[in-house]
Amino acid sequence: MLVSTAQEKRVLRFVDSSQSEVINLCSELVKRQSINPLYTGVDVDKVLGGEKECNEYLEPVLKNFGCKTELFEKAPKRTNLVGVLKGAGGGKSLILNGHIDTVPFGKVDEWTGKDPTSGKVRDGKLYGRGACDMKAGIAAMIKGIEAIGKAGLRLRGDVIFESVVGEEVMSHELGTSACIERGYKADAAIDPEPTVLSVMPVTSGLFWMKLSVEGKPTHSCVRDQFIRAGGKGDEVGVNALEKGVKLLNAIGELEQQWGITKQHPLFNPGHFVLHPGVIDGAPHGVRVPFVVSSYCTIDYAVWHHPRETAEQVKKEVEDYIKKAAQLDPWLSKHPPLVEWLLHWPPGEIPADHPICKTTGKSHQEVTGSQAKIQAMPAVTDVAFLDKAGIPSIMYGPGDVMQAHTIDEFVAVDQLITATKTLALTAMDWCGVTEN
């Protein structure tokens, strides 16, 4: 370890001596389900109130080390928790924002021990839904700051803890944006999402795009009449499915071009893609193959470059589809419909922003190795913090590859490292004084 000051060493020693408490807090959160009630396929009545229960559990934890707390909700039982730890004055302020909601369990039988809320530690891994995404991050941010006070120190700037609802389905207006609207602002924010302890100042943007194509249904026995030479072609029938596949292939070509032309220094080369996720098509009313399909829809997840606006992306994709459609006699007369059902905006601050540098330096002090600066491949609430003028990064325990999976876990050593890094980062960013 390279830690320079005696004060920092005191705080790190305190975290080391209270590791079991950090693990315990994460485990207690995992034991309380907090599935996002708006997630597709969820039985609302069964899960609603879980987020509230977790935040009600956390409130006294924050109060115990001097935070002024408030629980508030924009929708029934979707309760957010905010805790403000007032600084001694003369330092910069910091928001620590984590989402308390999780995705559903998936098939409970497939979990080892058939218990997605075990919160148990095996071989250095803490298991359960939300362990990685992102109850470990929430435990780390709280226990890291608590350790500063326990070591006899006081921060100069204010720290604002936010444990918010809704993130998993972009209900930011119920969670993160509701906190902003309530007036919680700071000089920077850290969102301890699972980043494998990399500093992440950027996320991509994400669209849900729906492409719809119409056909001309008829009996499938006359297929030869509309696909073979000598037949009457489109007059007889048009298979919407095959027109959809044609556009699917065209969009695949656009995706190939994106792989070459759209680069960003912090993303993997070729990261930006147009992912076909759901394909549907059939004759209207009858899902049998004996009638020619009258419609085809393809739902895409479009992961776009953070430096492109929503309008630029939409225009490029729509123009491409329009041109591809013009090459087909049927599609040129019956143009496909493109709908943009959802947009999760990107977030980006410069990789050399002071909050990146401070966090990276703290990581290095704790681990002895240089922090990686990378892009978050997924989308997160930092987009909305950035938008509100609060420069934000992600840095937290766990791997996004583990998020949302059966047997989700977080590595305990990462949980402890994140706790330490967040403590040193707050000390450096907010300033510190003897209590």
The tokens for 283 are 């004759």
When the beta carbons of 262 and 387 are compared against Zn ion, the nearer one is: 387
Q: Does 134 bind Zn ion (CB under 5 A)?
A: yes
DSSP reduced 3-state for 250? helix
Give the residue with the Cβ less far from Zn ion, 51 or 133: 133
Q: In the range 183-202, which residues lie near Zn ion by CB under 5 A?
A: 193
Q: How far is the CB of 136 from Zn ion (least distance, A)?
A: 11
Query: Is there binding between residue 133 and Zn ion (CB under 5 A)?
Result: yes
| Exposure string over 275-309, b if 16+ CB within 10 A, otherwise e | ebeeeebbbeeeeeeebbbbbbbbbbebbbbbebe
Distance of alpha carbon 88 from alpha carbon 154, whole angstroms:
7
Taking the least distance from each CB to Zn ion, the nearer of 133 and 158 is 133
Query: Distance (Å, rounded) from C-alpha 236 to C-alpha 226?
Result: 6
Residue 336 in contact with residue 188, Cβ under 8 Å?
Answer: no
Q: Please work out the total of residues on this chain that contact Zn ion, with binding judged by CB under 5 A.
A: 3
Q: Using the rule CB under 5 A, is 394 a contact of Zn ion?
A: no
- 49 is written with which tokens? 């109130």
- The smaller minimum CB distance to Zn ion, of residues 193 and 428, is found at 193
When the beta carbons of 136 and 282 are compared against Zn ion, the nearer one is 136
Provide, rounded to whole angstroms, the least separation between the CB of residue 253 and Zn ion. Answer: 33
List CB contacts of 46: < 8 A, sequence separation 6 or more. none
Q: How far apart are CA 356 and CA 352, in angstroms?
A: 6
Q: Using the rule CB under 5 A, give the single segment among 31-39, 127-135, 169-177, 339-347 that binds Zn ion.
A: 127-135
Nearer to Zn ion, 134 or 165 (CB): 134
CB of 99 to Zn ion, least distance (A): 6
Task: Quote the least distance from Cβ 78 to Zn ion, whole Å.
Answer: 16
Question: d(Cα 199, Cα 58) in Å, to the nearest integer?
Answer: 26
Query: In the bound complex, which residue of the shown chain has the CB atom lying closest to Zn ion?
Result: 133
| Residue 274: CB minimum distance to Zn ion, A | 23
Binding site for Zn ion (CB under 5 A): 133-134, 193
